Structure 1
Amino acid sequence: MERKKALVGILMGSDSDLSVMEAAAEVLREFGVPFEMAILSAHRTPEQAARYAAEAAERGIKVLIAGAGWAAHLAGVLASKTTLPVIGVPIDSSPLNGMDALLSTVQMPPGIPVATMAIGKGGARNAALFAVQILAVADENLAARLKAYKADMAAGVLKKNEKIDPAVRVLEL
């Protein structure tokens, strides 16, 4: 069976980040977006991380998602070596529960943009959804699937709203 060419690269600084970054992979699978994953550290394997970013576009990658904890420089290192969009996911693996990773990821210097998501699994899910939105700009089928996903999400919320006691529920939304 031939593997589809990856459109999204999911990278993480350590194997301990895999349980968080798997949430991004789950979303990409749900939308049928081919991806690849790698463990590359900005600090322990800087040459390999830089090479990955520099060569990603040539291999057909369109978006990079980088999850890292502690000093969390991975997203910035990748962004410095590519013109592809980079989405950072701060991981809550340190004694500071990810606040250090959040600040390290979001505080990029001018000229090195990184879209930064929330800390942890929710951020990983949103990173993948944001990658899908980026890809959907040039893919009508993916855009339609994304629109249906959001409609289903809204319908689910409204269904839950119906469970509220009618005496206190807002009747017209």
Structure 2
Amino acid sequence: MPKVGIVMGSDSDMKVMGKAADMLEKFGIDYEMTIISAHREPDVFYEYAKSAEAKDFKVIIAGAGMAAHLPGMCAAIFPMPVIGIPMSGKNLEGVDALYSIVQMPPGIPVATVAIDGGANAAILAAKILATSDPELLQKLKDYTAEMKETVQKKAEKLEKIGHKEYIKQM
């Protein structure tokens, strides 16, 4: 199975990036996770991004906050898809990172998910990989069916017990 690289700029991003790893595991996708600061160790970062193709990575999920250069720099070096996750922060609540990741110059695209959107980044990576993997595509279809069933069960519960009781049980 093709691999996904998961890279974050700081261990403070682990909670969000862990959701990406959990989702990849759910789909049976092999990944490698690491922490690299594009600003504090540019030589290490460059080697990571440059060697990702040789490691058989097909997608990189890169999470970063504030100036959020990690996803864009991955996209500048790695020739395959990069998915950026803007991290919420204490100053601008992740809007700065969102703008930094989504506003890439022409020729250097980064797919961008919601602020702290670790799970969606992994689902997007799975969808990219599923274009050439029928088994993974079926897992994604099954996951979609599970989500539908979950919502339907919640609607049935609401109808049965009413909103006031539903809220009490939340």
| TM-score, with length taken from structure 1 | 0.89
Determine the structure 2 residue equivalent to 1:71: 67
* Number of aligned residues: 161
How far 1:6 moved relative to its partner?
A: 6.3
C-alpha distance in 1 between matches for 2:73 and 2:90: 20
> Contact between 1:117 and 1:127, CA under 8 Å: does it hold in 2?
yes
User: Residue 147 of structure 1: which of 141, 147, 152 is its match?
Assistant: 141
Asked if 1:125 is matched to 2:119, the reply is: yes
Instruction: Give aligned-pair identity as a percent.
Output: 52
C-alpha distance in 2 between matches for 1:135 and 1:40: 24
Q: What is the RMSD computed on CA atoms of the aligned residues?
A: 1.5
Gaps of 5+ in 1: 169-173
Write out per-residue CA displacement over residues 30-61 of structure 1, whole angstroms, 9 at most, x where no aligned residue.
11111001111121112221221111111111
Gaps of 5+ in 2: 163-170
Determine the structure 1 residue equivalent to 2:81: 85
| TM-score, with length taken from structure 2 | 0.90
C-alpha distance in 1 between matches for 2:90 and 2:141: 36
> Contact between 2:2 and 2:129, CA under 8 Å: does it hold in 1?
no
C-alpha distance in 2 between matches for 1:36 and 1:118: 22
More off after superposition, 48-57 vs 157-166:
157-166
SS in structure 1 at match of 2:53: helix
How far 1:91 moved relative to its partner?
A: 0.6
How far 1:163 moved relative to its partner?
A: 2.1
Query: Mapping of 1:15-30 within 5 angstroms?
Result: 15-30=11-26
C-alpha distance in 2 between matches for 1:125 and 1:11: 14
